[in-house]
Amino acid sequence: MTRRTKTFRLAAVAATSALVLAACGGGDDDGGSDDSSTPSRSDGVLTVGMLLPQTGSLAFLGPPEFAGVDLAIQEINEAGGVLGEDVVGIKADSGDTDSGIAAAETDKLLDADSDVIVGAASSGVSMTVVDKIMSAGSVMFSPANTSTDFDNGDFADPDLYFRTAPSDILQGAVMANLLIEDGKQNVAILARQDAYGETLAEEISKGLEAAGSTVAATVFYGENAQSYDSQVAEIAESKPDAVVLVAFEETTTIVPQLVSANVGPQTVSTYFVDGNTADYSADLPAGTLAGTKGTIPGAEAAGDFRERLLTIDPSLTDFAYAGESYDATIVSALAAITADSDAGDKIAEEIPGVTEGGTTCTSFAECADLLADGEDIDYDGVSGPIELGETGSPTAASIGIYQYGPDNTYAAVNYISGTI
């Protein structure tokens, strides 16, 4: 059963974060752009590239993200398109940081004159291609980047990078408060040793410690680790009352090792994050994850939205980041109409404005009609209010809390809304 809360008061992090109410990882922060040297190009057709995971450690996120973009393009074109022309969509595989295919796939999208590239899912992958995309004058609009790096350094200045997913500051705070609400006092964190894992571990720790809980151990493992024996042993030695696993597809290897060390989900309360809250019904013995909880940024995918997604991809069973992908596409199209141009730099100038401050609208057709009447608009999407701030990141967002059943699939139990 799903229940909603009106607001989420983050008592655990009030002293340590700019978060006021009720978040996949990055790299360095040297990817800003120089607007004066950004080329402006337009061919009259809005082309949306999709740099999303078809392979690699986040491949399970690809189907709902592709479906979200495809659905948006379909609905935009059914409503008359953009600038009198149908929007064109082009797919590419972002892979992951191990495969390193994103650069070549990005070239494919840019060669096809993509004005907006929706992706990547992984912040680490985005960091490898963001300069290439922005230097070409195209918008990079990620539906799933949660690294705090994108709100710091060069990225804090207005440029061609945007995202519909909130920073890990929010997900970390929500996870910390979830642990506190569940009465956990001695929490161990096992995380990937990359910007994603390190940032989330840090934010979760901040919240726990601010509330007086103890972080029993924070243990990291390499992205390409062949074994997790020593890390799992360290977690077990800390004798935690809860384990937070910040991971990707390696979850299917780590969980059985945790079970063997008597710190698995049926012995110690276990928590996942957006990188590994997935369907494990075919990967782990029935009952392994029963009771495990996870967090995923984003509002609830409403029933009608899911039905529309299933017309695009009937095989969908996971809807994570579908709403964020859909909204990134809709916002880009509305910005192109406002700019009266499909050029990336012109679209970028209008993206924040169509998400705040005007007449509220909730569909492309409705918003486009308002724009045709000369009205300012505030698009509220299927993923939430969006409200993109000066760094191109959401200033208001939701985090879903999910729980696993005996079949190792998960269902929503709560949604936390708030501002950053």
The pLDDT tens digits for 280-338 are 999 999 999 999 999 998 877 778 999 999 999 999 988 999 999 999 999 999 999 99
**Cα torsion through 316, 320, 323, 328, rounded to 10:** -110
Nearest Cα residue to 276 out of 180, 179, 184, 175 = 175
Question: Whole-angstrom Cα distance, residue 85 to residue 68?
Answer: 20
Structural domains for the chain: 3-22+168-297+398-419 (3.40.50.2300), 35-165+302-351 (3.40.50.2300)
DSSP 8-state code for residue 388: B
pLDDT tens per residue, range 399-410: 999 999 999 999
What is the pairing mode between strands 242-246 and 269-272?
Answer: parallel
Percent of the chain with pLDDT over 90: 76
Which tokens go with 166?
């909130």
320 is written with which tokens? 């994570």
Q: What would the pLDDT profile of 24-46 be if each residue is shown by its tens digit?
A: 544 333 334 344 456 778 999 99
